[in-house]
Chains A and B, each alone.
Chain A
Amino acid sequence: MLRMPIRQRRDWRAQAEQYGFKFHTMYGEAYWDESAYYQFTLDQIEQGIEAPTAEIHQMCLAVVDKVVRSEELMQRFQIPQPFWDRIAQSWQDKEPSLYSRLDLAYDGVNPAKLYENNADTPTSLYESGFWQWLWLEQQVDRGALPRSSDQFTSLQEKLIQRFAALKSRYPGQVLHLSCCKDTEEDFGTVTYLQDCAEAAGIETRFVYIEDIGHGEGEWLTDLDNQVITWLFKLYPWEFMLREQYAGLTLNTGVNFLEPIWKGSVLSNKALLPMLWKLFPGHPNLLPAFFEDELDNVASMPLVKKPFFSREGANICILQDGTAIEQSDGPYGEEGFIYQAYYPLPKFGGNYTLIGSWLVDDEPAGISVREDSGLITQDLSRCLPHTILN
Chain B
Amino acid sequence: MKRSKQIDLNLMRKRPLLSISKLAAAIGGAIALTGCGGNETDAKIYASIQDCKADIPSEAEVCEAAYEQALAESERASPKYRSANDCAAEFGTCEVRHGSNGNSWFMPALGGFMLGQMLDGRRHSAPVYTGYGNLYGGYYGADGSRYGDFSRNTRVKSVKVDPKAFKPKPRVVRTISRGGFGSKAAAKSSWGGSRSSGWGG
- Chain A positions near chain B (C-beta within 8 angstroms): 17-20, 23, 26-27, 42, 45, 118, 121-124, 129-130, 133-134, 136, 150-157, 172, 174, 179-180, 182-187, 189, 195, 199, 209-217, 219, 221, 224-227, 229, 234-236, 239-240, 242-245, 248, 310-311, 328-331, 365, 378, 387
Contacts and interface: CB of A to CB of B under 8 A. Distances in A.
B175 A234 contact: no
A23 B197 contact: yes
27 contacts: A118-B201, A121-B200, A130-B12, A150-B3, A155-B4, A183-B197, A185-B197, A186-B198, A195-B12, A209-B182, A212-B178, A212-B180, A212-B181, A214-B176, A215-B175, A215-B176, A217-B100, A225-B80, A227-B170, A234-B200, A235-B185, A239-B181, A243-B182, A243-B183, A329-B192, A330-B192, A387-B2
A240 B181 CA distance: 6
B17 A227 contact: no
B8 interface: yes
A311 B13 contact: no
B154 interface: no
Contacts of B179: 210-211, 244
Contact of A243 (B3, B184, B201): B184
Interface in B144-199: 168, 170-185, 187-188, 191-192, 195-199
Contacts of A195: 11-12
Contacts of B192: 328-330
Interface string B99-121: 11001010000000000000000
A20 B11 contact: no
Contacts, number: 191
Most chain A beta-carbon neighbours within 10 Å: one of B184, B192, B197: B197
A136 B176 contact: no
Interface residues of B, number: 49
Given A179-B198, A185-B200, A328-B192, 5 more contacts: A118-B200, A150-B1, A216-B103, A234-B198, A330-B191
Given A213-B176, A214-B178, A214-B180, A133 B199 contact: no
Contact of A180 (B11, B12, B182): B182
Contacts of B5: 157
Contacts of A330: 187-188, 191-192
A263 B201 CA distance: 13
A225 B174 contact: yes
Contacts of A216: 80, 99-100, 103, 105, 173-176
B122 interface: no
Contact of B201 (A152, A310, A365): A310
B2 A26 contact: no
Closest 8 CB pairs of A and B: A20-B14, A123-B200, A186-B198, A183-B198, A245-B180, A310-B201, A244-B180, A239-B184
